Amino acid sequence: MLPTPPPSAEDLRRINAWYGQYFGAVNEAREEGRLSPASATTYLLHSGNFVRWLESRFEPGIRARSAATRS
């Protein structure tokens, strides 16, 4: 399932700008020792997936289903 209605190009521009700020804040917290490296990685992975979902470049569960069918 993808976002409905999809965000406009302007929405995505603004979201990506905010994500850049968030990315910097998470890395700063990691560098200052306020976040563990593993936590910072998790924060950025999941928030990045959300942004990719808004851009219609990510669908939750696709990789998990693909791996399960290979077993």
**Sole residue written with tokens 């905010």:** 18
Q: pLDDT tens, 16-62?
A: 999 999 999 999 999 999 999 999 999 999 999 999 999 999 999 98
Going by pLDDT thresholds of 50, 70 and 90, the confidence category of residue 66 is low
List, in order, residues 6 or more apart from 29 with CB less than 8 Å away: 35, 40
Q: What is the DSSP string of 28-48?
A: HHHHTTSS-HHHHHHHHHHHH
pLDDT at 71 over 50: no
What pTM does this model have? 0.81
Domain ranges of the chain: 16-58
